[in-house]
A and B are shown apart, each in its own frame.
Chain A
Amino acid sequence: MNLPKLPLAQWIDHLVDWITTTLDPFFGAISTGIEWLLKNLVALLSTGPSIVLIILITLIALYTSRWGIAIFTFIGLLLIDNLGYWDATVNTIALVLSSVLLTILIGIPLGIWMSQNETAKKIITPILDFMQTMPAFVYLIPAILFFGSGVVPGIIASVIFAVAPTIRLTNLGIREVPNDLIEASQAFGSTTRQKLFKVQLPLAAPTILAGVNQSIMLALSMVVIASLVGAPGLGAEVYRAVSQIKVGEGFEAGISIVIIAIIFDRISQNLRKPLFGKVVSKKMVYTILAIVLLLGYIATAIHEYKPSANGSGNVGDQVNYKITGIDPGAGLMKATKKAMKEYGLTDKWTLNEGSSAAMTAELKKAYEKKEPIIVTGWTPHWMFKKYKLKYLEDPKGSYGKGESIHTLTRKGFSSENPGATKVLDQFNWKPSNMEEVMVDIHDGTKPADAAEKWVKAHKKEVAQWTKGAPRGGGKQVKLAYVAWESEIASTNVIAKALEQQGYDVKLTQLEAGPMFASIADGSSDAMVAAWLPTTHKDYYDKFKGKFDDLGPNMKGTKLGLTVPKYMKVNSINDLKK
């Protein structure tokens, strides 16, 4: 049997393309709504100094829970403030609150519907299974196509991931109401609505709240993943720290998330039966809370109000003073920050963090609609073959000259495996070579197949690399690489070349920081993906002396701010205008 592979991936791609173009206004509206909600929440939570919010949250914790929890809340929040993560925390709280608000708005009605209607239950249940188990990464990047990068796709992904327990437990809670109570309410002539609101929902409330509590925790667990598409907050702090292998900072941000999680969990668990509920009625507390929030909001609104500087048509306005970046730890991001400083793009301009996948998704979205966009770009990259793009001129040389990609091996590898070391040392090719492989991969060919194709078609180059190297005879070579398109291409190609020589090659995909760490600690043998002297400068310096640098395998790479050719701007200098 030799059935052709079902083109499922292509179908999904077409579907996503179709949805992106057809439902764009709809997604735009959702996006605007969520952004508005989040912006106001953040503004509200940042009213006054941090101590105001800390005391308010402590009071809520005290009201709902025990003294111990209140003390923990107070000290925990002070610690976060002290560590310098308060702004990130406010962003995270706002993100989680918005996600939970949406979760409740979507989840409870769906759960009610599911409990009343068997057909609905049969349809919703498998969708929930799908949502809970489908890895968030899978819909995170498409979410950028629909909603643009930033916090909105992060919230959408959180809601998709977190909404299931609320729906399930609402349904369960309503269905668990004892039958004789249902009979009693019917026997007295309740309508379906009366039965629902007077009997089923009040009795299901504990179960529903348990569901909401679960949703809150799941939404919190998504903050780091949400930061991959540019959501700000503690997640981004963690991501930045980890991708730069700043263990201590990562821990600080991580512990902040834990503190927030515990506070949220305890408060939401006790919300139904507050400890001091008998002393102060719930209604009164909610009223006071509402008044405080309202006053705070008015205060912020007045404070924030500025006549809007409206579109003078310059580039900054066109792109909302936003540069779409990649992974926060990347040298490219560091270089871009430096460039922004040197070109005076400081006051209004922001550099959005995310990931290279998020950046290309954002670029695709803008490019298809011919909208202005500025991204951080580098060559070789398939996007230069796929779209018509140009680098902005960099007269001040902030990005430095072109970079080289170096081959690194772990200490001691050259003596253990001189053959493979020789091949790796002689590995050398040009950006245009690499881009051939990259476009192939981007168009759907499996990396290994694309690499094999390239190796077959370029026997002469490959022969240069393997010249004089002994055959491997099944010796193992562990190659680490980062999941950038360029590195996927080069690593697969050199792996093919080594395999041809009789080596047993194992590939390990890692983030940039861990890739360096794995060479330094010897868990990987080699990598061909060190961008120097700019992109991976931090890692290179951090692990210096713990690896052997075999020199560049490619020269002539480039970094810089990149725009589509349909934009008129040509130089970074022009952005200032």
Chain B
Amino acid sequence: MEARNVKVAVKNVTKVFGKSPKAAVQLLKKGYSKRDILKETGSTVGVNSASFDIYEGEIFVVMGLSGSGKSTLIRMLNRLIDPSSGEILIDQEDIVKMSPAKLRDVRRKKISMVFQNFALFPHRTVLENTEFGLEIQDVDPTKRRESAMRSLELVGLKGYENQLPSQLSGGMQQRVGLARALASDTDILLMDEAFSALDPLIRKDMQDELLEIQDSMHKTIIFITHDLDEALRIGDRIALMKDGSVIQLGTPEEIMMHPADEYVERFVEDVDISRVITAGHVMKRAEKVYPDRGPRVALQIMKDQGYSSIFVVDRKQKLLGAITADAASLAIKENKSIEDVMYKEIVTVPQDTLLADVLEPMANTNFPIGVTDEGNRLKGVIIRGAVIGALAGNRDHLNGTEDDE
């Protein structure tokens, strides 16, 4: 992984709601649990000493169930909620210690936000909503109109600029929310459960669109969600929160493969695993034969291993085709070569193909599916049993990730 700039650094950030946050912070340091502190001081722990770095240009997902403190955490990043203790460095500047004027400046120029329930101003048109951030900054009206129109175009809402938010569907409203955040042209985008209020199909569209926009704009996006599928789909890295603490931080794969504790394990159990596991995870070492070895050798290997077919590769491991036991027997009888009888239209997939995308081709072929690299070299084979086992949540069938190789 190349060295990357830290855009936002969260250091030991704690938030306690209630009348005596200081006392509660002390108790937290002594290791009291959230429940004990509520009993002792009447204060609620929102976030408990969270620490992590967010790199420039990544989509950082904070994921947790309701009450886990994720919304509190994101609101501390632009100080809609003031942390009880800790530091939040944005471009090396501690936002916690900023004067109100400086804070306003950061909110105007560096961080914008998209809200769960859109939070559009009902008395303003789509365009007026979109240019709100710039209007606040007293940007010249023609200029801010131009910027707002550009953002609206980006989210596909050209032509709707004079409508009121109430005239739009939920998905369109959130596009306005996104356009409003983009119009300010900030480096950092906070997205608080931005797609949670949308229905599933629209949510997927919006996720794709966000990824598309991110491809061209390279913002630093901090995305809050309670939906693990969503987190896995869009997150470059995921921080998992429970009871105010970050309990695991890693790439989607790391979290799936190595749940930090039982809680995460239970959590990831329900995930649509076919969207996380790749061909590389379920492939087996492929049995293969060089064509010049002849059908007898091929048949012998199949007999030894109990397969009904094996792949045929050349000396450079390049996949040529596959041969079945029946075809091999026929070739022996008729004295033909492997190349004469092998089946050449083998379905292959690259190693990082999601399992979900392997299922359909698998249904349409009788041969196992080959896993190949860019040079069409055979890396492994996907057989049905392993796929079904993996989908059933049986981790024994899974290969490890990078570190296993």
Binding site for B on A (CB under 8 A): 178, 180-181, 183-191, 194, 198-199, 202-203
Across the interface, do B122 and A188 meet the contact criterion of CB distance under 8 Å? Answer: no
A188 is contacted by which of B112, B116, B117, B123 (Cβ under 8 Å)?
Answer: B112
- With a cutoff of 8 Å between Cβ atoms, the chain A residues found around residue B78 in the complex are 187
- With a cutoff of 8 Å between Cβ atoms, the chain B residues found around residue A203 in the complex are 121-123
A184 to B135, CA, bound (A): 14
A160 to B13, CA, bound (A): 51
Q: How far is the CB of A367 from chain B (nearest CB, A)?
A: 57
A60 to B111, CA, bound (A): 47
In the A-B complex, the 3 residue pairs with the smallest Cβ-Cβ separation, listed nearest first, are: A189-B108, A189-B107, A184-B119
With contacts A180-B115, A180-B117 taken as known, whether A189 is within 8 angstroms of B123 at the C-beta atoms is no
A180 to B121, CA, bound (A): 10
A198 to B134, CA, bound (A): 13
- With a cutoff of 8 Å between Cβ atoms, the chain A residues found around residue B111 in the complex are 187
Across the interface, do A188 and B115 meet the contact criterion of CB distance under 8 Å? Answer: no
Since A180-B115, A187-B111 are in contact, a sample of 17 more A-B pairs with Cβ atoms closer than 8 Å, ordered by chain A residue number, is A181-B119, A184-B119, A184-B121, A184-B132, A185-B121, A187-B113, A188-B107, A188-B108, A188-B113, A188-B133, A189-B104, A189-B133, A189-B137, A194-B136, A198-B121, A198-B136, A202-B121
Across the interface, do A187 and B135 meet the contact criterion of CB distance under 8 Å? Answer: no
- With a cutoff of 8 Å between Cβ atoms, the chain B residues found around residue A181 in the complex are 119, 121
Interface size on B (CB < 8 Å)?
27
Binding site for A on B (CB under 8 A): 75, 78, 80, 104-108, 111-113, 115-117, 119-123, 132-133, 135-137, 180, 184, 190
Name which residue of chain B comes closest to A181, CB basis: B119
A87 to B54, CA, bound (A): 75
Q: How far is the CB of A206 from chain B (nearest CB, A)?
A: 10
**Can you name 17 A-B pairs with beta carbons within 8 Å?**
A178-B119, A180-B116, A184-B113, A184-B119, A184-B120, A185-B136, A187-B107, A188-B180, A188-B184, A189-B106, A189-B133, A189-B136, A189-B137, A190-B104, A194-B136, A198-B135, A203-B121
Q: How far is the CB of A196 from chain B (nearest CB, A)?
A: 13
A257 to B16, CA, bound (A): 59
- With a cutoff of 8 Å between Cβ atoms, the chain B residues found around residue A183 in the complex are 75, 80, 113, 115, 119
Count chain A CB atoms within 10 A of each CB in B117, B136, B184 and give the residue with the most.
B136
A188 to B107, CA, bound (A): 5
Across the interface, do B113 and A191 meet the contact criterion of CB distance under 8 Å? Answer: no
A191 to B101, CA, bound (A): 9
A202 to B125, CA, bound (A): 13
- With a cutoff of 8 Å between Cβ atoms, the chain B residues found around residue A194 in the complex are 136
Q: How far is the CB of A282 from chain B (nearest CB, A)?
A: 14
Count chain A CB atoms within 10 A of each CB in B104, B120, B180 and give the residue with the most.
B104
B115 is contacted by which of A184, A191, A198 (Cβ under 8 Å)?
Answer: A184
Across the interface, do A191 and B135 meet the contact criterion of CB distance under 8 Å? Answer: no
- With a cutoff of 8 Å between Cβ atoms, the chain A residues found around residue B116 in the complex are 180
Q: How far is the CB of A67 from chain B (nearest CB, A)?
A: 27
Across the interface, do A186 and B117 meet the contact criterion of CB distance under 8 Å? Answer: no
A178 to B104, CA, bound (A): 21
Q: How far is the CB of B73 from chain A (nearest CB, A)?
A: 15
- With a cutoff of 8 Å between Cβ atoms, the chain A residues found around residue B180 in the complex are 188
Name which residue of chain A comes closest to B183, CB basis: A188
Count chain B CB atoms within 10 A of each CB in A190, A202, A203 and give the residue with the most.
A190
- With a cutoff of 8 Å between Cβ atoms, the chain A residues found around residue B107 in the complex are 186-189
Q: How far is the CB of A187 from chain B (nearest CB, A)?
A: 4
- With a cutoff of 8 Å between Cβ atoms, the chain A residues found around residue B137 in the complex are 189
Across the interface, do B80 and A199 meet the contact criterion of CB distance under 8 Å? Answer: no
Q: How far is the CB of A376 from chain B (nearest CB, A)?
A: 57
